[in-house]
Structure 1
Amino acid sequence: MQIYLPIADIPVNIFLLLAMGAAVGFVSGMFGIGGGFLMTPLLIFVGITPGVAVASVASHIAASSFSGALSYWRRRAIDPALALVLLTGGIIGTALGVSTFTLLRALGQLDLMIALSYVVLLSSVGAAMFYEGLRAMIRAYRGGPVTIRRPGSHGWIHGLPLKLRFKRSKIYISIIPVVAIGILIGFLGAIMGIGGGFILVPLLIYLLRVPTSTVIGTSMVLTLVTMMVATLLHAATNHLVDAVLALILMVGGVTGAQFGARAGQRIRGEQLRLLLGLLILAVGVRFAIELVIRPEDLFTIREIGVSQ
């Protein structure tokens, strides 16, 4: 059954979109991440232009993050002060990302930049997560001790100025790295259509020593707001948000997430990290292959304006 996507300007099988939404929702529920890093490439692989895929997935991620953030808020598992400082950088980064997105689109380099960004980011992050998960599994198999980073340990980052006490997370650190992390996540989200949870959560835990009891809920607040801002800016400046596409993906995503959450509870932590790293690495490799294979059409048509 074909459905016409008005902004993407192509007909797509509605059951394929529902299946993609369910699959990504399953992965999101299993690993506790947004899934934008997987959804955006899948849409591109089925023929939707990268610009529409990035802008539409941003709205999908925002909607998916709302229920999760609300649930964590009710359980008091969100640090409001930390979320506010992260959002200060996140909104700035999102605005910069959308501006860069618009500029690259005007120059005709948007598709290439999105593909290169996915290759570099996903390949490096996926390889690191796969390696770390494999080492943890080997240690567990040999009966060796698991390395635990103590929340009270300090690094160079804790010596920076402009410190602020975050009572809910029980940390006292400079706001400089917090704002910088927010800018990074907002920028990547606007350019690549990812929530950035698979990058943000490790940064908060290992770099800032944020306890796991508040890190996921706080991460979801940042993802929710930055993706809402990205959606509004993309719709206002680039007119690339396809509401029909986002709605179909949401329906499939909500269904798949329920089954994924149940499956994730039955798998050990190091196995989850290994599988997630392998999945991220596979998407990065797939993008790399797309960049080097010979296209069917050796030319493109792009409107460059009419001379006066």
Structure 2
Amino acid sequence: MDIFLPIAHMDVNLWLILFFGGIVGFLSGLVGVGGGFLITPLLIFVGVPPIVAVATGAAQIAGTSAGGSYAHWRLGNIDFKMGIFLLCGSWIGGGGGVYLAKLLQESGQFGNIVTFLYVGLLGFIGSSMLVESISAIQHAGKPVKKKEGGLGARLAIWLENLPGQMDFPASQLRASVILIFILGAAVGVLTSLMGVGGGFVMVPVMIYMLKMPTKVVVGTSLFQLLFTTAAVAVMQAGVNHAVDPFLALILIFGSAFGTQWGTKIGMRLPGEKLRLILALVVVAVAVKMLIGLLITPHEVYSMTRSAV
């Protein structure tokens, strides 16, 4: 069953888009990420223009993260003080990113830039997570020897000496508001250029760099994710006219069902195996986009003809 997307100016299969939404929702419930890093490449793969895929992906994340934010607010897992500083940075970064997207779109380079960003960022993060998760599985149940000094200790000292230190009681830490603002701005730019909420970058940073409690990280990340992606979606619609409401609604509907299944299965799997699943998915997306950069459709057709 095909439907016409008025903003993307193309027909798409309704069941395929619902399936894409279900996959993203399943991963969101399984490993706790927004899924924007996956939905944008999937939409581009089926022919949706990159600017529409990025903008609509942001709108879809805003819709699906609303429920999670509300649930964590009820549980008291949101550090609103930190979330406000993150939002201030992400709104400024997102605004700049929207206008940068407009310039890249007018120059005809937006699709290439998005693909390079996905290959580089997902390749680095996915490979790092893959190595860490495999190591965690191999050493499961074994005592871990802590190393004195090293990069982690130097990083901690550097973070403590940054200007603008402020207490965040809900997160039980003291951190530089300048660093938090910069992190928020970086997430805003990523949201504008890649259609991601930045959760797959922000969550590791908040856990490993800022040393925040995991439950507060998840709640605060979802809070920031909701308002950042909503603001970017509105700006993308106003500046670039790139948000397709029909496409966003179908994706949100599909992800609502996928999230339920992912949550149920995720409760039965250990953390290291969940991280391994996410790492494999991230690496697979990066490899697929890299292949798309290196091998054009014309080259694939030529190789097929030669084989015949």
| TM-score, normalising length: structure 1 | 0.92
Q: What's the secondary structure of 1:209's corresponding residue?
A: coil
Tell me the secondary structure at the aligned position of residue 261 of structure 1: helix
- The list of structure 1 runs, each at least 4 consecutive aligned residues, that deviate by more than 3 angstroms after superposition, is 146-149
Q: Give 5+ residue unaligned stretches, structure 2.
A: 148-152, 300-308
Paired with 2:172 and 2:129, the residues of 1 have a C-alpha distance of 27
Q: Quote the residue 2:182 is aligned against.
A: 180
- Find the partner of 2:208 among 188, 206, 219: 206
> Could you tell me which residue of structure 1 aligns to residue 66 of structure 2?
66
Give the alignment of 1:56-135 within 5 angstroms: 56-135=56-135
Q: Could you tell me which residue of structure 2 aligns to residue 23 of structure 1?
A: 23
Q: Which residue of 1 aligns with 2:195?
A: 193
Aligned pair count reads 292
2:280 to 278, 281, 288: 278
Which residue pairs with 2:246 in the alignment? Answer: 244
TM-superposed CA distance for 1:23, in Å, is: 1.3
Spell out, residue by residue over 1:28-78, the C-alpha distance to the aligned partner (whole angstroms, 9 max, x if none).
110111001011100110111111100111110001111111111111110
Question: Unaligned regions of 5+ residues in structure 1, if any?
Answer: 298-308
How has the CA–CA distance of structure 1 residues 163 and 185 changed in structure 2, closer, same or farther, with 3 Å as cutoff? same
Distance in 1 of aligned mates of 2:144 and 2:108: 49
- 1:143-182 equivalences in 2 (<5 Å): 143-146=141-144, 154-182=156-184
Paired with 1:287 and 1:81, the residues of 2 have a C-alpha distance of: 38
Identical residues among aligned pairs (%): 43
Residue 270 (structure 2) aligns with: 268
Identify which of 234, 242, 259 aligns with 1:257: 259
- The change in CA–CA distance for 1:289 and 1:84 in structure 2 (over 3 A counts) is same
- 1:120 maps to a residue whose letter is G
1:226 paired residue number:
228
> How far 1:146 moved relative to its partner?
4.2
Secondary structure of the corresponding residue to residue 171 of structure 2? coil
Deviation at 1:112, TM superposition (A): 0.3
Per the TM alignment, residue 148 of structure 1 is displaced from its structure 2 partner at its CA by 8.0
Deviation, 1:161, is 1.5
**Over residues 97-154 of structure 1, what are the superposed CA-to-partner deviations in whole Å (9 max), with x where a residue is unaligned?**
11111110111100000010000011110000000000101111xx4224789xxx84
Q: What amino acid is the match of 1:42?
A: L
| Structure 2 counterpart SS, 1:168 | helix
- Asked if the contact 1:51/1:110 (under 8 Å) is kept, the reply is yes
In structure 2, the CA distance between the partners of 1:148 and 1:94, relative to structure 1 (3 Å rule), is farther
Distance 1:155 1:69 in 2: 32
Q: In 2, are the aligned partners of 1:136 and 1:146 still within 8 Å (CA)?
A: no
**Distance of 2:256 and 2:112 partners within structure 1:** 31
Return the alpha-carbon distance in structure 2 between the equivalents of residues 161 and 11 of structure 1. 53
Q: Relative to total residues, which structure has the larger helix share, 1 or 2?
A: 2
CA distance in structure 1 between the partners assigned to 2:146 and 2:24 by the alignment = 30
Q: Match for residue 33 of structure 1?
A: 33
- Separation in 2 of the partners of 1:2 and 1:179? 44
**Is the 1:61–1:195 contact (alpha carbons within 8 Å) kept by the matching residues of 2?**
yes
Distance (whole Å) between structure 2 residues aligned to residue 195 and residue 294 of structure 1: 29
CA distance, structure 2, for counterparts of residue 80 and residue 61 of structure 1: 20
Residue 24 of structure 2 aligns to which amino acid in structure 1?
A: V
- Aligned residue type for 1:82: M
Q: Following the alignment from structure 1 to structure 2, what is the Cα–Cα distance between the partners of residues 63 and 148? A: 42
Counterpart contact for 1:97–1:191, Cα < 8 Å = yes
Secondary structure in 1 aligned to 2:268? Answer: coil
- Per the alignment, residue 150 of structure 2 pairs with none
Distance 1:31 1:148, change over 3 A: farther
